[in-house]
């Protein structure tokens, strides 16, 4: 019998009751195999696996020559889109749609923290220092660029709109102005959008097109004092250029949920900058994702078993 392998870890798992129900639903079609932290149970072979749900290592991929479908627990798919051990005919799906609300709430927290100088007050609290900052920003009436207007980007816009912000959306293809945006642009207008914005929120995936897109030239095109938020992928930012932009005041503050290398090395200068907030790739943390992700897996399993088109298929040529 063909196997479907679940690759669980500390972050990705399914409730036992749900897993039991899935096994019962497909007992005549598939045998389910559970791995924890890439460890194959003794005496178990995954050579005849046709689907893997999780984020497999290269070693695991090499042991599944008949794989037809890989369902990722994450929204980002750049690591697997051109993975040398993932055959070109394997359907790759991600968990887009699972993290929108969590991602938006996390981003709003970052925006508010920098707008209201909260990192400064945290440091002053630790020193028992009562002192009013003379520098504060305001979201109401500001212009916010959201670079990457997918699930998370649109949810961010929806919330910032309630704060009174003007939203500029940047997408791969501009087209019709999306919901909650005031205008939409493609990357050919990227510099103009940066120059017009008080806040720049990067929600881009990492692709050949977006790698180190935020470079020195683009940071220099921002207004002096612009707030920069990165909740996309660390590799889309030239971190040396960002450090220089923060130190020069071109970027007034930065909040980074992601970095080029994770964990961020202890020797990175980003740790030392007083107006940089680092949140350790925690955007996806929270209870809301579990049901949404489980529901997505359940729907895609049903479609896979029926030979139907799967949800959230990744275009492997562009990486998302």
Catalytic positions: 233, 262, 281
149 with 169: CB under 8 angstroms? Answer: yes
Q: Which of 280, 251, 253, 252 minimizes the C-alpha distance to 266? A: 280
C-alpha to C-alpha distance for 196 and 279, rounded to whole angstroms? 27
With H, G, I as helix, E, B as strand and everything else as coil, classify residue 93: strand
Q: Which of 249, 308, 298, 248 minimizes the C-alpha distance to 71? A: 298
* Rg of the chain (C-alpha set): 22
C-alpha to C-alpha distance for 164 and 155, rounded to whole angstroms? 15
Q: Which of 156, 150, 146, 153 minimizes the C-alpha distance to 183? A: 146
């Amino acid at each position: 019998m063909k196997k479907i392998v679940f690759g669980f870890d500390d972050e990705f798992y399914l409730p036992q009751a749900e897993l039991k129900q899935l096994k019962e639903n497909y007992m005549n079609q598939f045998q389910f195999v559970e791995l924890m932290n890439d460890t194959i149970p003794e005496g178990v072979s995954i050579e005849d696996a046709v689907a893997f749900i999780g984020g497999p290592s290269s070693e695991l991929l090499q042991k599944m020559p008949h794989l037809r479908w890989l369902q990722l627990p994450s929204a980002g798919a750049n690591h697997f889109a051109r993975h040398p051990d993932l055959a070109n005919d394997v359907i790759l799906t991600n968990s887009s749609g699972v993290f929108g609300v969590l991602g938006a709430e996390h981003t709003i927290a970052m925006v508010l923290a920098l707008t209201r100088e909260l990192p400064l007050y945290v440091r002053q609290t630790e020193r028992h220092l009562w002192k009013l900052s003379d520098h504060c920003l305001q979201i109401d009436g500001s212009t916010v660029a959201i670079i990457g207007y997918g699930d998370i980007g649109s949810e961010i816009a929806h919330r910032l709109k309630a704060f009174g912000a003007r939203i500029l959306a940047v997408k791969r293809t501009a087209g019709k102005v999306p919901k909650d945006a005031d205008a939409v642009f493609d990357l050919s207008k990227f510099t103009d959008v940066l120059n017009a914005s008080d806040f720049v929120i990067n929600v881009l995936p990492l692709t050949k097109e977006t790698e180190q897109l935020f470079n020195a030239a683009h940071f220099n095109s921002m207004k002096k004092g612009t707030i920069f938020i990165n909740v996309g992928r660390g590799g889309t930012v030239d971190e040396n250029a960002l450090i220089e932009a923060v130190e020069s005041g071109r970027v007034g503050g930065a909040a980074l949920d992601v970095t080029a290398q994770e964990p961020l090395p202890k020797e990175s200068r980003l740790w030392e900058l007083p107006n940089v907030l680092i949140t350790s790739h925690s955007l996806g943390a929270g209870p809301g994702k579990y049901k949404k992700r489980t529901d997505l897996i359940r729907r895609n399993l049903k479609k896979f078993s029926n030979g139907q088109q799967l949800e959230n298929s990744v275009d492997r040529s562009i990486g998302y």
